[in-house]
Structure 1
Amino acid sequence: MDARDDIETQLIEHGSESDVDDELTEAKRYPSFGQRMRMERQLFGRQFCPLFLSLVMLVYGALIVFRNLAFYRYRVGPRLRDVGFEVFHEFSKENMKYSDIPIKVMYIVDGFVLLGTFLGEGGAKRIKDAITCLCGKENEQDLRAYKPFTRPPRPHFVNVVRRMLCVYAIGHFLRACTYLATTLPGSSDHCIHSTGLHPPKTLLECFYKTQSINGNCGDLIFSGHMLFMWLSTCCVLKYGARAWGLKQLGPVHSGLLALCMILIAVQIAFILKSRHHYTVDIVVATYTVPLLWNFYNNTIQPEDLKVDYQALEDHESVPRSRRRVLIENCIVAFALFILVLLVLIVVHGNFNFLHPKPHTAPIN
C-alpha cells in the first residue's frame, strides 16, 4: 500500500488524476521481479502436495521401484524382429554417445519456455524496450509480438512445472503398468547377454537399489525418452507463446514447434539406431502422451491456479525488513532450483552420482 501512496503522491503533484490510474495500471500489469517471486512463492505453497507427490512418484517410484521390478523379472533372450532395426543401422560404440543429443536440446527449449514464465510481463516488456532501443524506432513495428497488452497473461513458473510434473508422473505410472505386465526380450546389446548384468537379487532389494538407466533391462513399453519429448512439445504448444508474449502459432511460436518436431524425429532415429527401444515402444508413446496431456488438461486440471491477490496484499501489509524479504526470495529460488534439478535427474534417469567410480592408479 505504501508504494501505491507514493505513486499517487508523486503523480498528483506533477500530473492529473488519470495519470495516477495509468501508472497504477502499468505497475500492476508489469510486476517487479520481487513481486513475481512472491506470486510464485504463494502458488508453490498452495500446490506443494501435487508437486511433492509427483516428485516422490518419479524419483522413488519410476527411477527405483518400478525399474528394479522390471529388471528383477527380466530374463535374457534373443532380440525381437523389429522394422525400425531393419531400417536404421545400429550405432557404433563410438557414436553411441550421440544418442541423447535431441533430448538434451529439448532441455534448452523447455528452459526457454520456463524462463519466459519466470520473467513475467515486466521482463518481456524490458526485453522488448531493449530490442526497440537497439533496432531504432522505425523497426518497432517488427516487434509487435513482444507487446504484452494484446496477449493473454503470462503463465506462472510453478503452474507450468506442476502441470508437466503431474502428467510426467502419470505417464511413468502407465509405463510401469505396461512393462511390468509383459516382459519383452531386451533390445540393447547389454540386455541380450547374461554377462555384465546386475539385477536386484531379491524382491526387497527392488525397493532401495539405485542404478543408472543405462544398465537396466526390461523397462521397454513405452519409451521414457519419447514420453518426455512429446510432453515437452505439448508444453511448448500450450505455454510457449504466452510465456514470452508471442502470438499463438505465430512465426516464432510455429518455428519453436517445428524445432520440437524435428528433435522428435531425430530422437526416434537415434533411439532405434542405439537399440534402446523397439519401434512399438515409440509408437505407443506417440499416441499415448498427447492423449494423456489432452485428458489431463480437459478433465483433471482444466485451468491453472490463479494468484490470490488479496492474500498477497495482506501478506505485503505486514512490515518486514529488506533482509527478510531477500532471504524469503532466495529460499523460493533455491526450492525451485532443487525442483528443476530433481526433474532433470528423473529425465536423465541416472543415480551414478551415488556410486562414484573407484580411483585407479595410472599404468606406467
Structure 2
Amino acid sequence: MVWFWCVKLWKRICAETTTEINLLADSWKYILSGLIFQYIHGLAARGVHYLHRPGPTLQDVGFFLLPEFGQDKSYISETLFTFVFLSFIVWTFHPFIFKSKKIYTVLIWCRVLAFLVASQFLRIITFYSTQLPGPNYHCREGSKLARLPHPESVFEVLLINFPRGMTHGCGDLIFSSHMIFTLVFVLTYQKYGTKRCIKQLGWLIAVVQSFLIIASRKHYTVDVTVAWYTVNLVVFFLDKKLPELPDRTGGASFLLPLSTRDKDSKTKEENHKLLNGNSVDPPDWRQRTQVNGKILDDANLVHADATAMNGA
C-alpha cells in the first residue's frame, strides 16, 4: 500500500515538474528579471546605509502606544516573518505533492515578483529622497554599525555584505520591506488560495507583524503605514494589467510533452496561450471552481455549486 502511494506520488511529481519546466521555458526571463531586481534592491539598501547619519529618534505615535521589546526580544518579528516567507514558498510548490492543483508555480511567482519589483522600486525612490535617523538599536548614535566607513573597493559595495548587510541596514526606512513581502504574500493567497481560515489567519498575521516591527523599533509607524496602502494599491492596479492565471481545475495533462514530433508545435502554442492568460481547456471539462480569475474558497464553492444547480 505504501509502495503504491509512493509510486503514485512520484508520477505526480514528475508530471508536475514537466509541466512547470514547459512554463519556465517561456517565462524564465520574467523570473530572472525579478530575481535580479531583488539584488538591485539589496544593493540600493546597502548604498543608502553609507548616507545614513544617526540622530535622535523621531517622535512616533507607535513608540508611545507599544512597549519596546528591547534587543533581546527583537528576534520575535523576524521569526514571524520567516514563518510567513517559508509558508508561502511551500504553498506555491504544493501542486507538486497534492492532487488538488489550483495554481501553476511558475506563473504564480511571475505574478508575485511583478508585485515585489513594483513595490520595491517605489521604496528605493522613497528612502533615497530623505534619510531618516534609524530607530533600530544598531542605527543609533554610538553604534559601530550606524555609519559605514567609506568602501575600499567597488566589490565591497556589490557584495552588500550578505546576509549581515541585509539584516543590519540603516536608512532604508520608508517604507518597510518586511511589510512588502508580507502583504504581497497575503494578497496573493487571498486571491488564489482556497482555505478561508488561512486567508483570515494571513491578515491577522500581517497586522501582528506590523505591531511587532514597531515594538522592535525596526521601523517608524509611518514606514509600516505607508507600506499598507502602497502595496495594496500596487497589487490592485498591477493585477488588472497582468494576464490572469488560467484555471487548471480540469487537469494539466495538455502541457505534458507529447511523443510525436508533429505535436510539439501544438504543445508550444498551448503554452503560449497559457502564459497570455488564455485558457486551452477543452469545453467538456468538469465544472470549474474559478470565478472571474479568483479561486473560490471552501465555503463559497458550496454556495456556487448550489447556485448553479438552481439555475440549471
Structure-2-length-normalised TM-score: 0.71
Alignment correspondent of 2:173: 220
Shift of residue 166, structure 1, vs aligned partner: 2.0
Q: Which amino acid aligns with 1:174?
A: L
Q: Distance in 2 between matches of 1:43 and 1:222?
A: 33
Structure 2 unaligned runs (5+)? Answer: 1-10, 262-312
Shift of residue 234, structure 1, vs aligned partner: 0.6
Shift of residue 317, structure 1, vs aligned partner: 3.1
Alignment correspondent of 1:158: 106
TM alignment of 1:65-104, pairs within 5 A: 65-104=43-82
Q: Which amino acid aligns with 1:52?
A: L
- The answer to whether 1:169 aligns with 2:169 is no
Count of aligned residue pairs for this structure pair: 243
Shift of residue 194, structure 1, vs aligned partner: 4.0
Please tell me whether the aligned partners of residues 47 and 157 of structure 2 are also in contact (alpha carbons under 8 angstroms). Answer: yes
Say if 1:200 and 1:189 are closer, same or farther in 2 by CA, change over 3 A: same
Say if 1:159 and 1:283 are closer, same or farther in 2 by CA, change over 3 A: same
Counterpart selection for 1:106 from 61, 84, 87: 84
Structure-1-length-normalised TM-score: 0.61
Q: Distance in 1 between matches of 2:96 and 2:105?
A: 6
Structure 1 unaligned runs (5+)? Answer: 1-30, 125-152, 242-252, 319-364
Q: Distance in 2 between matches of 1:317 and 1:297?
A: 38
TM alignment of 1:125-144, pairs within 5 A: none
- The answer to whether 1:46 aligns with 2:45 is no
Counterpart selection for 1:294 from 233, 236, 239: 236
TM alignment of 1:1-364, pairs within 5 A: 32-58=12-38, 60-63=39-42, 65-119=43-97, 123-124=99-100, 154-197=102-145, 199=148, 201-202=150-151, 204=154, 205-211=156-162, 212=164, 213-241=166-194, 253-299=195-241, 301-304=242-245, 312-314=256-258, 316-317=259-260
Q: Distance in 2 between matches of 1:310 and 1:264?
A: 38
Instruction: Report the identity percentage.
Output: 28
Q: Which amino acid aligns with 2:141?
A: H
Q: Which amino acid aligns with 2:243?
A: P
Shift of residue 92, structure 1, vs aligned partner: 2.6
Shift of residue 214, structure 1, vs aligned partner: 2.7
Q: Which amino acid aligns with 1:168?
A: L
Q: Please say which structure displays the higher CA radius of gyration.
A: 1
Shift of residue 181, structure 1, vs aligned partner: 1.0
Q: Which amino acid aligns with 2:58?
A: L
Please tell me whether the aligned partners of residues 43 and 158 of structure 1 are also in contact (alpha carbons under 8 angstroms). Answer: yes
Please tell me whether the aligned partners of residues 103 and 263 of structure 1 are also in contact (alpha carbons under 8 angstroms). Answer: no
Question: Residue deviations 1:39-81, cap 9 Å, x none?
Answer: 10000111100100110110x2012x20122101111111100
Q: Which amino acid aligns with 1:282?
A: V
Say if 1:317 and 1:225 are closer, same or farther in 2 by CA, change over 3 A: same
SS in 1 for 2:72: coil
Say if 1:119 and 1:239 are closer, same or farther in 2 by CA, change over 3 A: farther
SS in 2 for 1:99: helix
Q: Distance in 1 between matches of 2:232 and 2:212?
A: 21
Q: Which amino acid aligns with 1:221?
A: I
Please tell me whether the aligned partners of residues 139 and 170 of structure 2 are also in contact (alpha carbons under 8 angstroms). Answer: yes
Question: Residue deviations 1:151-199, cap 9 Å, x none?
Answer: xx72111111121122112221211110011111111122121431252
